[in-house]
Amino acid sequence: MKTLYVELGDRRYPIHIGPGLLDQPELLRPHLPGQQVLVISNTTVAPLYLDRVRAALTGLRHEVLILPDGEQYKTLATLDAVFTALLNHRFARDCTLVALGGGVIGDMVGFAAACYQRGVHFVQIPTTLLAQVDSSVGGKTAVNHPLGKNMIGAFYQPGGVLADTDTLGTLPDRELRAGLAEVIKYGLIRDLPFLEWLEANIGHLLARDAAALTEAIERSCRNKAEIVALDERETGERALLNLGHTFGHAIETGMGYGEWLHGEAVAVGMCLAADLSMRLGWLAADGAERVRALLARAGLPLAPPAQLTADDFLRLMAVDKKVKEGQLRLVLLRSLGRATLVSGVDPHILRSTLEDSFQ
Ligand code: NAD
Ligand code: GLY
pLDDT tens, 191-230? 999 999 999 999 999 999 999 999 999 999 999 999 999 9
Indicate the top mutation candidate among 242, 243, 321, 341 to test ligand 2's pocket, ranked by most ligand atoms within 8 A of CB: 242
Is a pLDDT exceeding 90 seen at residue 148? no
Q: Which residues contact 299 (CB under 8 A, 6 or more apart)?
A: 173, 177, 206
Q: How many distinct structural domains can be found in the chain?
A: 2
Other CB atoms within a 10 A radius of the CB of residue 193 amount to 10
- Of 170, 205, 222, the one marking the end of a domain is 170
**What is the amino acid identity at position 310?**
A
Assign 171 a pLDDT band (cuts: 50, 70, 90): very high
Q: Is 167 labelled a binding residue?
A: yes
Question: What percent of the chain is predicted at pLDDT more than 70?
Answer: 100
Q: Is 203 labelled a binding residue?
A: no
Tell me if 266 sits within 8 A of 322, measured CB to CB. Answer: no
The answer to whether residues 202 and 304 belong to one domain is: yes
What is the CATH number for 276? 1.20.1090.10
Average pLDDT over residues 137-150: 95
Indicate the top mutation candidate among 130, 259, 261, 321 to test ligand 1's pocket, ranked by most ligand atoms within 8 A of CB: 130
Atom of ligand 1 at shortest distance to CA of 138?
Answer: 40
- Of 170, 187, 205, the one marking the end of a domain is 170
- Of 120, 155, 170, the one marking the end of a domain is 170
The answer to whether residues 187 and 320 belong to one domain is: yes
Other CB atoms within a 10 A radius of the CB of residue 173 amount to 10
**Ligand 1 center–CA 18 separation, angstroms:** 19
Tell me if 331 sits within 8 A of 243, measured CB to CB. Answer: yes
The answer to whether residues 121 and 222 belong to one domain is: no
Cβ neighbourhood burial of 17 (10 Å; 0-12, 13-18, 19+): buried
- Does residue 238 have its Cβ closer than 6 Å to ligand 2? yes
Assign 321 a pLDDT band (cuts: 50, 70, 90): confident
**Closest by Cα among 304, 168, 323, 137 to 246:** 323
d(C-alpha 47, C-alpha 65), whole Å: 12
238 is catalytic: yes
Tell me if 116 sits within 8 A of 125, measured CB to CB. Answer: no
d(C-alpha 122, C-alpha 136), whole Å: 11
Helices 103-115 and 76-88: angle between axes, nearest 10 degrees = 60
**Closest by Cα among 143, 315, 329, 173 to 245:** 329
- Does residue 262 have its Cβ closer than 6 Å to ligand 2? no
Is a pLDDT exceeding 70 seen at residue 359? no
**Closest by Cα among 132, 98, 133 to 113:** 98
What is the CATH number for 126? 3.40.50.1970
Q: Is 185 labelled a binding residue?
A: no
The answer to whether residues 183 and 201 belong to one domain is: yes
Proximal ligand: closest to the CA of 140:
1
Q: Is 322 labelled a binding residue?
A: no
Q: The domain containing residue 185 runs over which residues?
A: 173-357
Proximal ligand: closest to the CA of 104:
1
